[in-house]
Chain A
Amino acid sequence: MLTDLTDTTAADIRAALRHTRDQMGAPATGVVLNLIIKTDESGQHDAVRAAGQAGREHPCRVLAVISRDPRATSRLDAEIRTGEGTPGQTVLLRLYGPMGEHADSVVMPLLVPDTPVVTWWHGSLPAIPSALPLGALAQRRITDAARAQAPPEALAALAAGYRPGDTDLSWTRATPWRSLLAATLDQVTDEITGGTVSAEEQNPTADLLAAWLSQRMGVPIGREDSGGPGITDVKLTTSAGDITIDRPDGRVATFSRPGQPDRHVALHRRDIAELLAEELRRLDPDEVYGETLAAAAGIPVTS
């Protein structure tokens, strides 16, 4: 069901949300979190779509904040979508003029009470997510350094402004690699003396993965450029030889260990909806991300 409200207020949107809910006979419960998406007109379709897919796993109230012409007079347009194939509700908020600077005042009355809040910047990358009003509302703040013009600088900026509760999708992308590497080290007893992570240029996930490995194992991990896609291989040097995970095509990796046959592992690159779904699974601060981010940016970790 679609409801369009032009030149409206947060109170009217609330009333409309309640009205559509009553009409559809759906109860008030059934939403596990509030997801605020900060996006723009060109990115909103993909962002809301990804949120809708993640919403199958995590029914949420999606509040997409889209800033329009800042020089216009203040105006709020809203588009409410309920029951469009996904659980939960989606509200697209278009903010014109100076109101764009006060998005939090529109969003706050629309949050489902007693339910966690997550803010996702899709597109623009804030320097200090928690310092922005929409970030301050949230217990979890999701950015994506891979979408920045210069990802390494973006990571450095995120590291400088890090607060517990921050997280970045370039870190999420590392999870399959990290779990495979962690499982590998469950089996390997030889000492690891170093290694490299190869990926396409300016890949923040590779930077974080290298920083994580280096920090956890206390050995130098080099970073090499390759043609991609994404991370193409990870090599760990041991006294017995090299352990390598080689993924040239972004889909299937070959896993090699000294003295053992090569094996194939499915290691496909995940789409944004899958990444978002993983992010929404845990809503407490990801300390390991904080430490890894600091290490990647060369900031000494203080615990």
Chain B
Amino acid sequence: MMHNPLRDPRDRRIPRLAGPCVLVLFGVTGDLASKKLLPAIYDLANRGLLPPGFSMVGFARRDWADEDFAQLTHDAIKAHARTPFREDVWYQLCEGIRFVPGEFADDEAFDLLAQTVKQLDAERGTGGNYAFYLSIPPKAFPQVVQQLKRSGLSTPPEAAGGVQPWRRVVIEKPFGHDLASAQELNAMLDAVFPPSAVFRIDHYLGKETVQNLLAVRFANTLFEPIWNRRYVDHVQITMAEDIGIGGRAGYYDGIGAARDVIQNHLLQLMALTAMEEPLSFAAEGLRAEKEKVLAAVTIPDDLATGTARGQYSAGWQGGIPVVGYLEEQGIPADSTTETYAAVRLTIDNRRWAGVPFYLRTGKRLPTRMTEIAVLFQRAPHLPFDATETEELGQNALVIRVQPDEGVTLRFGSKVPGSAMEVRDVNMDFAYGESFTESSPEAYERLLLDVLIGDPPLFPRQEEVELSWTILDPIEDFWSTCAKPDQYAAGSSGPRSADELLARDGRSWRRL
């Protein structure tokens, strides 16, 4: 790329901006589109991060005109955008909104789509750069991808005037339901798009706190010396949800908590927590380190004692009576799908040998929260009486991913008074209170990265496959077991999960 004299690395007021392009959205009528994607696009436009002429095409099975899609976008923005609504920004965005009605099987609809984006190139100068966002069920992927190929949409034209137009495709989890299906999905994408054009969205990686984990670890001298088996006792990574499965019965049953959450979010968080320092924060460096550490993950020898799974039964959640999983609409009464999963993993390398990583996730737990807690070993000797340190726990560094994003450091401190008594206290850093910049929403950040073509925050196929390699034997084992353990909705999980830690002389952090 030619050097741009107006760009200067010292000039940090000028933001990264996407180049001219069209975003083609499949599945615009879905929840994700109206709650996250469309508002994020507006917020990007409002922050001045989208290029002049940026255009958006919606594709769905609706008998709609452009105005109907614009109306849907308008409503979604009004309801969910984070930045204030501005008429002039909306005007700019609205000019580039198009809609193409059709079924995924309909050749004509895709030909119309191809025509529409071409027209946008001519009318709005989008330069033949298209990003396809597949916010659709995975079973529809092959059909859509094939249609993109057939209609010529997936093939960028020859470079004109020294600039090569690009094509990118964005997919959401699940990336398969086991190793074989993940490979199959990849082969299907691979036949149409080069690997560098495929962006797999794991929205957790777009979160500020997750990226901050890298800053905390690698920008400070304070933490890295103790970030190893000599000081760390164990690590707990939790993603708890207070909601049930809601309207996702069709997707969720047969998938379960481990495939839905552990395979992607939790293993990614674990990789970022445990990986070595990357050569740089460019995509290659980051992915190489994540892959190394994922490849070093080992599962328990005895899966019966090293894993736990559960299914919520009827109970009270936050003061409201709720039904059990088996009574949820659309769930067969004999379903063995787990809504809670916990595993004990270890990492076979010099830094982490012998340090267990406990991963847990579940639905209908008391609160919604995601955190990474690094718990440190107790001091080898305490020059106090046992009674003086009765209330002293383990030192801990907790990265709160959501809600209430921030970092907590927990350590012992003297209780005021004439006697010596040590108790745990918290030192707290909260994003909302300590930063001079409001953090962008995860989807905002990720969408911008897609449009700019910046891949570090997107997992690569190798990482997806490594994650399935870790999870597949566990799923195989579970499929041979009887039903998952029941836990009352609103409680903090099945007893077997508590026993999993109790066997190691540890306990879960309170939810």
Judge whether B438 is part of the interface by a CB distance below 8 angstroms: yes
Which of chain A's residues have a CB closer than 8 A to the CB of B162?
189
**Segment touching B, from A68-76, A99-107, A222-230, A252-260:** A252-260
Report yes or no: A266 in contact with B91, Cβ–Cβ below 8 A. Answer: yes
Judge whether A288 is part of the interface by a CB distance below 8 angstroms: yes
Judge whether A264 is part of the interface by a CB distance below 8 angstroms: yes
Q: How far is the CB of B429 from chain A (nearest CB, A)?
A: 8
Return the chain A residue nearest B13 by Cβ.
A175
Which of chain B's residues have a CB closer than 8 A to the CB of A132?
none
- Could you tell me which residues of chain B, from 419 to 452, have a CB within 8 Å of some CB in chain A? 428, 430, 433-438
Q: How far is the CB of A213 from chain B (nearest CB, A)?
A: 8
Known interface pairs A189-B163, A261-B122; A182-B4 also in contact (CB < 8 Å): yes
Report yes or no: A33 in contact with B19, Cβ–Cβ below 8 A. Answer: no
Judge whether A32 is part of the interface by a CB distance below 8 angstroms: yes
Judge whether B156 is part of the interface by a CB distance below 8 angstroms: no
Expressed in whole angstroms, the Cα–Cα distance for A255 and B51 within the complex equals 11
Which of chain B's residues have a CB closer than 8 A to the CB of A179?
13-15, 17, 48
Which of chain A's residues have a CB closer than 8 A to the CB of B310?
none
Which of chain B's residues have a CB closer than 8 A to the CB of A23?
none
Return the chain B residue nearest A190 by Cβ.
B161
Contact of A266 among B89, B161, B163, B430 (CB under 8 A): B89
Contact of A288 among B10, B125, B428 (CB under 8 A): B10
Expressed in whole angstroms, the Cα–Cα distance for A288 and B11 within the complex equals 6
Expressed in whole angstroms, the Cα–Cα distance for A130 and B123 within the complex equals 51
Which of chain A's residues have a CB closer than 8 A to the CB of B434?
29-30, 32
Which of chain A's residues have a CB closer than 8 A to the CB of B89?
266
Expressed in whole angstroms, the Cα–Cα distance for A187 and B17 within the complex equals 11
Report yes or no: A87 in contact with B433, Cβ–Cβ below 8 A. Answer: yes
Contact of A261 among B17, B51, B123, B435 (CB under 8 A): B123
Known interface pairs A187-B163, A255-B52, A266-B92; A217-B6 also in contact (CB < 8 Å): yes
Which of chain B's residues have a CB closer than 8 A to the CB of A59?
433
- Could you tell me which residues of chain A, from 262 to 290, have a CB within 8 Å of some CB in chain B? 263-266, 268, 278, 280-283, 286-288
Q: How far is the CB of B15 from chain A (nearest CB, A)?
A: 6
Which of chain B's residues have a CB closer than 8 A to the CB of A180?
48, 52
Judge whether A301 is part of the interface by a CB distance below 8 angstroms: no
Judge whether A157 is part of the interface by a CB distance below 8 angstroms: no
- B76-114, CB under 8 A of A: which get 1 and which 0? 000000000010110110010000000000000000000
Expressed in whole angstroms, the Cα–Cα distance for A172 and B92 within the complex equals 23
Interface residues contributed by chain A, number (CB under 8 Å):
44
Interface residues contributed by chain B, number (CB under 8 Å):
44
Q: How far is the CB of B400 from chain A (nearest CB, A)?
A: 16
Judge whether B124 is part of the interface by a CB distance below 8 angstroms: yes
- B116-154, CB under 8 A of A: which get 1 and which 0? 000000111101000000000000000000000000000
Contact of B436 among A261, A268, A280 (CB under 8 A): A280
Which of chain B's residues have a CB closer than 8 A to the CB of A255?
52-53
Expressed in whole angstroms, the Cα–Cα distance for A59 and B437 within the complex equals 10
Contact of A265 among B11, B46, B92 (CB under 8 A): B92
Report yes or no: A32 in contact with B122, Cβ–Cβ below 8 A. Answer: no
Which of chain B's residues have a CB closer than 8 A to the CB of A241?
none
Known interface pairs A30-B433, A59-B433, A280-B436; A252-B6 also in contact (CB < 8 Å): no
Q: How far is the CB of A30 from chain B (nearest CB, A)?
A: 4
Which of chain A's residues have a CB closer than 8 A to the CB of B248?
none
Q: How far is the CB of B118 from chain A (nearest CB, A)?
A: 13
Judge whether A218 is part of the interface by a CB distance below 8 angstroms: yes
Judge whether B45 is part of the interface by a CB distance below 8 angstroms: yes
Report yes or no: A251 in contact with B88, Cβ–Cβ below 8 A. Answer: yes
Which of chain A's residues have a CB closer than 8 A to the CB of B430?
30
Report yes or no: B20 in contact with A187, Cβ–Cβ below 8 A. Answer: yes
Which of chain B's residues have a CB closer than 8 A to the CB of A178?
6, 11, 13-14
Report yes or no: B6 in contact with A265, Cβ–Cβ below 8 A. Answer: no
Expressed in whole angstroms, the Cα–Cα distance for A179 and B428 within the complex equals 36
Binding site for B on A (CB under 8 A): 29-30, 32-33, 57-59, 87, 172, 175-176, 178-183, 185-187, 189, 213, 216-218, 251-252, 255, 257, 260-261, 263-266, 268, 278, 280-283, 286-288
Binding site for A on B (CB under 8 A): 1-2, 4-8, 10-15, 17, 19-20, 45-46, 48, 51-53, 86, 88-89, 91-92, 95, 122-125, 127, 161-163, 428, 430, 433-438
User: Can you list 9 pairs linking A and B with CB atoms under 8 Å apart?
Assistant: A33-B436, A182-B17, A187-B19, A218-B5, A252-B88, A257-B125, A266-B91, A286-B13, A288-B10
